[in-house]
Amino acid sequence: MDGNATTTHRNVVLLSVASELAPQITTSVDIDRRLQPALKRLKLPSGLLQRVAGVHERRNWAPGQAFDDAAVTAGKRALAAAGIEPGQVGLMINTSVTRKHLEPSVAVRIHHGLGLPSSATNFDIANACLGFVNGMTLAAQLIDSGQIDYAVIIDGEDADEIQTNTIERLGRPDISRKDFMSEFASLTLGSGAAAAVLGRADRHPEGHRILGGVTRAATQFNGLCVGSVDGMFTDAKALLKGGMELVVSAWTEAKRDWNWSGMDRYILHQVSDVHTNAIVKATGLDRSRVPLTYPLFGNVGPASIPITLAGEAGTLKRGDRVLLMGVGSGLNTAMMELAW
């Protein structure tokens, strides 16, 4: 049956969320400088990343740093903040888009790095930029069912290789303006890591309740944004149109079960000015309640939402209502309500 998939949770809280930011800063001015011959040949202006996407900087890992090591660091930080020992964790889900190889899973490296017990189930979930929210939903369902007491959701992203490959390819003399714009989104990507710890509300009244939310699919648009380590290729106009149709459909139907018009904070997947402005306009969000991290961190894939939430956590007070929401390539959308 077409429509939203709705999930509600009875006994789940977010105990902590933590991030690990990549240390090196790559500015859009620097990327413009490296692309200057191509921009001149194609008669494209400098500053597109800043003016169109609103991305002024993005982060990269230092030499020798690995995204999965950063994910382990974020996970250890989240466990410490939650006051949970590794031996108490029953589930660990990695949602990273980045992976060094097809198998084994990224999750096994992180499971080992965190020192989790052999009884802790671990696996990867891949659903483009929605993976982290999807992972939270699955973990919450297992906590609600009584199968586990604690779960760690974790994500590490490395955009360094795709950034280098894209800049090198866009400098080739056979690249057209259309080719350039189809890869424009690759230049907005950034590196980073984040983790969250979920637990039982009846054991942790101090936690932040995860109430539930909705997901909705529009997979007829599965070819509009396709990425690999070589690059991310998008039909930006069709992607924006399809994405907004999906968001509006999900948002409108969700009104039957949820009232999200007056949230205290809307934590969006961090993409660009164009994407954010479109969602704010389409759903009537209060722009002052939509924090932005993409201007300085770029699009960090599934880590974008938890990185942004971690940055806002110190400004939220007990009782604040928070909505996590985003659109992922494919297309899918997800929205999840938290009671802080």
Prior bond of 331 cis (ω within 30°): yes
Q: Which of 129, 157, 183, 337 is catalytic?
A: 129
Give the chain as a 3 state SS string: CCCCEEEECCCEEEEEEEEEECCEEEEHHHHHHHHHHHHHHHCCCCCHHHHHHCCCEEEECCCCCCHHHHHHHHHHHHHHHHCCCHHHCCEEEECCCCCCCCCCCHHHHHHHHHCCCCCCEEEECCECECHHHHHHHHHHHHHHCCCCCCEEEEEEECCHHHHHHHHHHHCCCCCCHHHHHHCHHHHHECCEEEEEEEEECCCCCCCEEEEEEEEEECHHHCCCEEEECCEEEECHHHHHHHHHHHHHHHHHHHCCCCCCCCCCEEEECCCCHHHHHHHHHHHCCCHHHCCCCHHHHCECHHHHHHHHHHHHHHHCCCCCEEEEEEEECCCEEEEEEEEC
> Is 103 assigned a catalytic role?
yes
206 is catalytic: no
Please list the active-site residues.
103, 129
